[in-house]
Every structure is written in C-alpha cells, then in structure tokens.
C-alpha cells in the first residue's frame, strides 16, 4: 500500500479501544521499518492528529478523538459496492431496502469523483444476475431483531408455523443466523424438547426478546451447528464426476466425511443428511453427473421423482 493509505489505516488502528501499539507491532503489521512508522507519526501530527505515547503501553490517540468514518480508498469502495450488490440481488426484500439505504448514505458523503466511480461500479458490476433480475423479492423475517438477541445473549419467544401447518409458541436460546440461498434460518436450543433446532425466519411471528440471559456452557462451534448430525441423519454415498465436483462441494448442504477417487474421472463422496426429499431434489441439478450409491431409500425417491416428472 502507498503511504497515504498506510497512514489512514494507522489512524484507524490507533483509535481502536483496548491495548495500545508499540512501534515494533505497528511496523510488523504494515511490513515496514520502525523509521517509516516514526515518519508516519510525524505526518499525522502535522495534520493535527493527536498521537499519544506512554512508555508502559505504547502509542495511541487522545481519548475522544475520532477519524471521520467514511474515508475509503477506491479499492475499499469497490469492495463495499460488490458486497452491497450481492445483498441487493437477494430475495429478502428488507435486506435489499437496507442495502439501498446504506448505499445512499455513502453516496451523500463522497466527493464527485468517488461518487461517479461508485455509480459506475453499481451499474456495471453485477453479482448473481439471475437472482437479481429474475427472483421475486419476499419477506425474509426479522433477522435484525434476532441478531440483537444473539448479541445480547437473551432468549426469544415467538409463534412458529411448522411443516404440518400448526402454529405454536416457542421459546428458544438463539445461537446462530444462517442465510441459505433464498431464506434466513435461526439455529438455537428449543425449550420444547431441549434440542438444537433450525427455525425458518419467515415462519416466525410476534418475535419477542425476553429478559432471560443465556448461559453458554462452552463457546459456540459455528461449523458444528451448521453441519450437525443427529439420529435423523442418514449415511449418503454418491459418485460424482470431477467436472462438477467443485460446484457440488461448494453447494452441498452437508459436510463431507470422506472422499475417494474411483478412477481419473469419478470421485466417491460420503456425508450424512437428514432430509432425503430435499436432497433428492437438490441432486437433480447435476443430472447424470452423479450416481447415488446409498441409501436405497434415496435411490427409490430419485426414480419416483423422475417418473413423475416424465408423466407430467
């Protein structure tokens, strides 16, 4: 990075709360010499940034001093636009509206050159075009309220409509929010059965954050929660052509337990999954590039589904 970019990042680093930084730590972080960092300190003081030093703790800035929050390099701005374009392409209507609001606020504080640059990126950098232009925007649920309950470590209560159409009150310790392709999910411990369950947000109503604190026995393992297996999970083995392997692995809604090369063109994968109907339909996107080995129930479901498709 150039000196201007480094000094901007140095200002942001120095105003972070917590432990102050020594010259050695700062130099190592930016990959430059101690002398370069001292020159940076001098440059910051020339523009009235109140750099402080304490022999016991190191360098920081005067308490209360804040660097203006919207000081982006063109590359950082491009990264933000790509992220906002990705959010705006999703089917969650509220997410799209929130992203548009963020975009408008950023534009209002940019110089004309950067605003023109941002407008060009916004219209000429398309993320997930089929979802952006073809997907119908829907209500994805109150993900923000649930994220607040997770941050506060508080239980939530809500009305939930299950697959059978029945609606009941649920009390849950929320652990995690996950966005799967076109909808939000909350993973949490249900007080109904004392088990970790997945709840779809657009099936939740009248969500309330309760004044009941959650006490975690240990740190939450995000990967284990997403790819958890229980008594409902079944062993799945499939043969996958290498030509589609990367796409298969990237989108598989499960964690691969083992993979084995059968020949130069075919890989055998082993994983566990608890919803064979969903998996059966998901596998159709790969056509004859995959062959199901087990379980036999999944093979039967695939044959039944294909017959029904041909009959229609």
Q: Choose one of 109, 134, 159: the last residue of a domain.
A: 134
Q: Does 212 share its domain with 183?
A: yes
Average pLDDT rounded to a whole number, residues 244-252: 90
Look at residue 277 and tell me if it is in a domain: yes
Q: Are residues 306 and 244 in the same domain?
A: yes
Q: Tell me whether residue 68 is in a domain.
A: no
Residues 87 and 105 reside in one and the same domain: yes
CA distance 102 to 94: 12
Mean pLDDT computed over every residue of the chain: 84
- Give a yes or no: residue 66 inside a domain: no
pLDDT for 2: 75
On whether both 262 and 294 belong to a single domain, the answer is yes
Q: Which two tokens stand for residue 37?
A: 């960092």
Is the confidence at residue 69, as pLDDT, over 60? no
CATH number of 248's domain: 3.30.70
Please identify which residue in the block is written with the tokens 């498709």. 309
Average pLDDT over residues 223-234: 75
pLDDT at residue 66, as a whole number: 63
Q: Which residue has the higher pLDDT, 283 or 233?
A: 283
Q: What is the mean pLDDT of residues 147-157?
A: 90
Q: Are residues 244 and 169 in the same domain?
A: no
Alpha helix positions (H), the chain: 3-14, 23-30, 34-46, 74-88, 93-108, 112-124, 129-134, 143-152, 222-226, 242-251, 276-283, 296-311
Specify the pLDDT at position 140.
67
| pLDDT surpasses 60 at 68 | no
Last residue of a domain, one of 163, 197, 226: 226
pTM value surpassing 0.75: no
215 and 162 in a common domain: yes
At 70 the pLDDT is 55
Domain that holds residue 50: 3-61
In SS3 terms, 93-147 reads as HHHHHHHHHHHHHHHHCCCHHHHHHHHHHHHHCCCCHHHHHHCCCECCCCHHHHH
- Distance of alpha carbon 193 from alpha carbon 199, whole angstroms: 14
Please count the structural domains in the chain: 4
Do residue 264 and residue 292 come from a single domain?
yes
User: Who wins on pLDDT, 109 or 261?
Assistant: 261
> Are residue 151 and residue 126 in the same domain, yes or no?
no
78, part of any domain: yes
On whether residue 69 sits in a domain, the answer given is no
pLDDT digits (tens, 9 = 90+) for 72-112: 777 788 888 888 888 877 767 777 888 888 888 777 767 77
Q: What pLDDT does residue 106 have?
A: 78
The CATH number assigned to the domain holding 18 equals 1.10.10.10
């Amino acid at each position: 990075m150039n000196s201007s970019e480094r000094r901007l990042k140095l200002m942001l680093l120095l105003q972070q709360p917590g432990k102050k930084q020594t010259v050695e730590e700062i130099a190592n972080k930016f990959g430059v010499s101690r002398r370069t960092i001292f020159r940076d300190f001098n440059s910051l003081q020339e523009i009235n940034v109140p750099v402080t030093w304490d022999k016991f703790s190191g360098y920081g800035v005067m308490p209360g001093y804040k660097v203006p929050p919207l000081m982006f390099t063109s590359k950082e701005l491009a990264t933000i636009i790509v992220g906002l374009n990705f959010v705006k392409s999703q089917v969650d209507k509220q997410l799209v509206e929130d992203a548009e609001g963020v975009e408008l606020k950023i534009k209002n504080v940019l110089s004309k050159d950067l605003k023109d640059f941002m407008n060009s990126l916004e219209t000429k950098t398309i993320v997930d075009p089929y979802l952006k232009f073809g997907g119908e925007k829907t209500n994805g649920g109150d993900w923000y309220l649930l994220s607040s309950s997770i941050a506060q470590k508080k239980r939530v209560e809500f009305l939930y409509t299950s697959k059978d159409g029945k609606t009941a009150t649920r009390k849950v310790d929320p652990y995690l929010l996950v966005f799967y392709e076109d909808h939000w999910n909350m993973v949490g411990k249900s007080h109904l059965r004392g088990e970790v369950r997945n709840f779809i947000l657009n099936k939740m109503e009248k969500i309330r954050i309760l004044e009941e604190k959650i006490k975690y026995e240990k740190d939450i393992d995000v990967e284990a929660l997403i790819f958890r297996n229980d008594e409902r999970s079944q062993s799945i083995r499939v043969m996958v052509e290498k030509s589609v392997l990367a796409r298969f692995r990237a989108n598989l809604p499960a964690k691969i337990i083992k993979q084995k090369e059968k020949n130069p063109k075919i890989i055998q994968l082993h994983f566990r999954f608890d919803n064979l109907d969903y998996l059966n339909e998901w596998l159709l996107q790969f056509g004859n590039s995959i062959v199901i080995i087990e379980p036999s129930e999944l093979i039967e479901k695939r044959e039944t589904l294909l017959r029904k498709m041909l009959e229609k």
